[in-house]
Structure 1
Amino acid sequence: MDTKRFIVYGAGAVGGSLGGLLHRAGHEVVLIARGAHLAAIRSDGLRLVTGGGTETLSIAAVSSPAELDSAPGDVLLLAMKSMNTEAALRDLAAVVDPATPIVCVQNGVANERAALRLFPNVYGVCVMFPSTHLEPGVVEPRAWPVPAILDIGRYPAELDETAESIAAALRSAGCHSEPRADIMRWKYHKLLMNLGNAIDATVQPGDGIAELVELACAEGAKVLAAAGIPVTSFDEYRARRGDILSTDRASRSGSSSWQSLVRGTGTIETDYLNGEIVLLSRLHGVPTPVNEHIRQLANTFAREGRPPASLPAAELLAAIH
């Protein structure tokens, strides 16, 4: 496939960082952003903060797909939180060529299926991309010199020339990227890892965090096994990540869910992380009280604007035991 332009829908921590890295590598990029973040990018450029320094990139940005002129060779990179995917897909379907590749650079496993309802060419990406977006106009890939591992495959399970071409573009931007026919097997493992996001977002650091994450992940693994869903092993995943992503930097931020609470968005992605496990548990008759409690708790934090990481771990452990 002759990729001419990357359109990044959702220019936050992952999307903004990836768009900036692709632009920096010489690819044509358009960001779809909103609010103060969009205004900052339009007025002052996108500030890309990496281990190599800070760059201000003059990069095209629009507020919605309606402002795009769809063209052959476009690739759509979805990078919004999963709860916003369906609305984004409807907006895209109204204006872009139906044959446009839709690439889900997102956590969770529901986005690819939602995209396939409206577009025939859908790709999943297993996202290992430590990154931060807390200030309008600023994104920070936290690992350096390799910012991300972004393996890709056609959904539901296939490899093709487009996946190979996109992987090559991602590598040109400094990321590691391998085409994989079994990409969803990797994404389900990442789902298990992301079950701790809501805990990171709501619970005070310290004793009890590891136990909470272990309980949530044990439930998740049990449910995926009951559903017959293949998942990469911990050893496979650890070997793939290896020591590629170095994040030994002075400043540190929390998970994407923690960042949502810090920015006060009023929403959080937990329904598509812990909530995915809860959904599967209801379909297959495997109780998941830990993940359901965490799902409800994270939504309460987001809805009420409660401070992130403010709940004592002992209080949550007592509630779920």
Structure 2
Amino acid sequence: MRYIIVGTGAVGGAMGGRLAEAGHEVVLVARGAQYEALREDGLRLTTPEGTRTHRLPVVDGPEALDLGQDDVLVLAVKTQDGVAALDAWSARPVAGGGTAGERLPLICAQNGVESERLALRRFHRVYGCCVYLPASFVEPGRVLAAGAPLTGILHIGRYPSGADDTVRAIAADWEKAKLEAPVVPDVMRWKYAKLLSNLANAIEAVTGVLDGPDGFALFDRARAEGRAVLAAAGIEATGSAEQEEARGGRIRFDPVDGARRGGSSWQSLSRGTGTIEADYLNGEIVLLGREHGIPTPVNEVLRRTANAFARERRAAGSMTVAELTALADAAS
């Protein structure tokens, strides 16, 4: 199988680099400065083992690539960029007949729980992937992946549920690339659990830290709202004991080049992208709360504040935890 990484940022870059190191055929997809850096200088992947440069095929869109029946699309763009990517790739013809949407498997390797639904409108074969992979991308062409001895643990399964021979073959490939890939029939349980932990992303992004009693107290309030709306919606998330059994002690986070390992939302603000994924993290809890009559004032403040930071290109970490907590208190 050939892996086409649609979105070569932190997660996509780490996955693409590790798959290439394991001998798999990989094509990177990127835009702008990242595309230029990858094309000119290759992908520089830094792990606790050191830095390797991977000179892999790189394209800036589906028109630059001929697709075959053995291709696998890995969607690793942020969810807010997902519709454009899905529309572009799903209509692309595949050698031997049909389009990518009709013929090829698509793996949603993203935070949040909305991408799979968006993808299923356009692709017949959609797979969810719960990403537990510590990585950073703040400089064009360079990705830092701090996990050791595994780079990531990626629970995968068919969406909305189940497993098949395709996902088992993909998992076998990933297992050879320091990417543990448990195949599960209920992948969305894992993604909803990850959603609850990702409610902290906005706090880290706008305050620069998630540390100390005040930051964790605010996170606990956001997570309590999340658990309440999931319960009201009848949505099950993997429990902490099951997560600990699957992941505990299997990845340690080693510093690489003394660089800071910030979360995905912090990285978006640090790069000044102008967008952030808060609508699909805290905003998912707000949406479910509105649907089921559950107040979610803390998550609404986090969603709105993170979006304002991104839109106005305000510096990551330029608000204090006390200021953010005061906004949440006023809304509550």
Q: What TM bracket, shorter-length normalisation? A: over 0.9
Range with greater deviation from structure 2 (199-208 or 161-170):
199-208
Question: TM-score by structure 2 length?
Answer: 0.94
8 Å contact from structure 2 (residues 265, 277) kept in 1: yes
8 Å contact from structure 1 (residues 52, 145) kept in 2: no
CA distance in 2, matches of 1:113, 1:319: 32
CA distance in 2, matches of 1:311, 1:261: 13
Q: 1:239 deviation in Å?
A: 1.8
Are residue 114 (structure 1) and residue 118 (structure 2) matched?
yes
CA distance in 2, matches of 1:231, 1:130: 21
What secondary structure does 1:311 align onto? Answer: coil
Read off the aligned partner of 2:36 and give its amino acid letter. Answer: A
> Which residue pairs with 2:318 in the alignment?
310
CA distance in 2, matches of 1:37, 1:210: 34
8 Å contact from structure 2 (residues 208, 266) kept in 1: no
Are residue 244 (structure 1) and residue 218 (structure 2) matched?
no
Range with greater deviation from structure 2 (150-159 or 93-102):
93-102
CA distance in 1, matches of 2:323, 2:88: 42
Q: How many residue pairs align between the two structures?
A: 318
Residues 267-286 of structure 1 aligned to structure 2 (within 5 Å): 267-286=275-294
8 Å contact from structure 2 (residues 130, 190) kept in 1: yes
Question: TM-score by structure 1 length?
Answer: 0.97
CA distance in 2, matches of 1:294, 1:58: 39
8 Å contact from structure 1 (residues 198, 257) kept in 2: yes
- The alignment-based identity, stated in percent, is 51
Read off the aligned partner of 2:151 and give its amino acid letter. Answer: P
> Which residue pairs with 1:54 in the alignment?
51
CA distance in 2, matches of 1:275, 1:43: 38
What secondary structure does 1:152 align onto? Answer: strand
Are residue 70 (structure 1) and residue 67 (structure 2) matched?
yes
Are residue 292 (structure 1) and residue 300 (structure 2) matched?
yes
CA distance in 2, matches of 1:239, 1:73: 34
Q: 1:94 deviation in Å?
A: 1.9
> Which residue pairs with 1:22 in the alignment?
19
Read off the aligned partner of 1:111 and give its amino acid letter. Answer: S
Alpha carbon RMSD of aligned pairs, Å? 1.0
What secondary structure does 2:252 align onto? Answer: coil
> Which residue pairs with 2:172 in the alignment?
168
**Residue in structure 2 matching 1:233, options 228, 239, 247:** 239
8 Å contact from structure 1 (residues 143, 247) kept in 2: yes
Q: 1:248 deviation in Å?
A: 2.9
8 Å contact from structure 1 (residues 123, 154) kept in 2: yes
CA distance in 1, matches of 2:123, 2:284: 23
Segments of structure 1 that go 5 or more residues without pairing to the other structure are none
CA distance in 1, matches of 2:324, 2:49: 40
8 Å contact from structure 2 (residues 193, 237) kept in 1: yes
Q: 1:252 deviation in Å?
A: 2.6
Q: 1:223 deviation in Å?
A: 0.4
Q: 1:241 deviation in Å?
A: 1.3
8 Å contact from structure 2 (residues 48, 254) kept in 1: no
Are residue 13 (structure 1) and residue 40 (structure 2) matched?
no
